[in-house]
């Protein structure tokens, strides 16, 4: 799209429940939110609480639509908020939160040496930009390292090491996936090489 924006995600932690069963293990409850202003309840109408992995599974199955920023954030948090067979205790929840807070403040924020690795996760901002369409499945490959145009040259940035794959339809993004950048680019180079070899064989036969 011609107009780009910088996205900065916010993470809000609710007060820990005195009873773990109220948070996990009990039937999921919907909380009806008063109609917000100015959209009059068109966009936000209710809230359902579930685990990160449950939302990711629903997105993979097509039961719900998660846009790339939400799926990206949930993918990162899934490492720290795992599903458990038994309801976690308040102590377990507190430990998970502590691990998330350490992660958010950690630098280098990644496994590489790109300048964005020196930006802590809590300070990252990004404006996804399309790098290319994958030959394999025609999904868009979105780079996450750049901020929006209003922050160009500010030293702010996002995540060089990961990309988001998505197929955009009129109903919203589908088949959204977070992948390591080097793996996706390597796969594309290999697909390009195979395509060129096949074209060479066809040309030779002609």
pLDDT at 76: 93
Report the distance separating Cα 65 and Cα 58, nearest Å. 8
pLDDT tens for 56-89 read: 999 999 898 898 988 999 999 999 988 877 777 8
Phi, psi torsion values for 174, nearest 5 degrees? -130, 160
Phi-psi region of 152 (alpha: psi -120 to 50; beta: other; left: phi over 0): beta
pLDDT tens for 157-190 read: 999 999 999 999 988 899 999 999 999 999 999 9
Label residue 31 by pLDDT band (50, 70, 90): low
Mean pLDDT taken over the chain: 84
Report the distance separating Cα 9 and Cα 73, nearest Å. 8
pTM to 2 decimals? 0.80
Report the distance separating Cα 80 and Cα 37, nearest Å. 34
């Amino acid at each position: 799209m011609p107009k780009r924006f910088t996205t900065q995600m916010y993470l809000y932690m609710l007060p820990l429940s005195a009873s773990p069963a109220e948070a996990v293990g009990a039937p999921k409850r919907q909380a009806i939110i008063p109609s917000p202003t100015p959209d009059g309840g068109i966009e936000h109408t209710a809230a359902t609480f579930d685990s990160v992995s449950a939302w990711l599974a629903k997105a993979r199955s097509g039961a719900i639509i998660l846009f790339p920023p939400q799926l990206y954030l949930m993918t990162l948090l899934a490492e720290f908020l795992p599903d458990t067979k038994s309801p976690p205790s308040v102590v377990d929840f507190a430990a998970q939160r502590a691990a998330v807070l350490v992660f958010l403040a950690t630098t280098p924020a990644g496994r590489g040496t790109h300048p964005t690795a020196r930006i802590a996760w809590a300070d990252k901002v990004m404006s996804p930009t399309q790098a290319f369409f994958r030959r394999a499945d025609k999904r868009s490959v979105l780079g996450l390292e750049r901020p929006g145009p209003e922050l160009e040259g500010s030293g702010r940035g996002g995540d060089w090491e990961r990309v988001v794959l998505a197929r955009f339809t009129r109903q919203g993004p589908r088949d959204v996936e977070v992948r390591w950048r080097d793996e996706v680019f390597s796969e594309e180079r290999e697909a390009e090489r195979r395509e060129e070899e096949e074209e060479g064989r066809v040309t030779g036969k002609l």
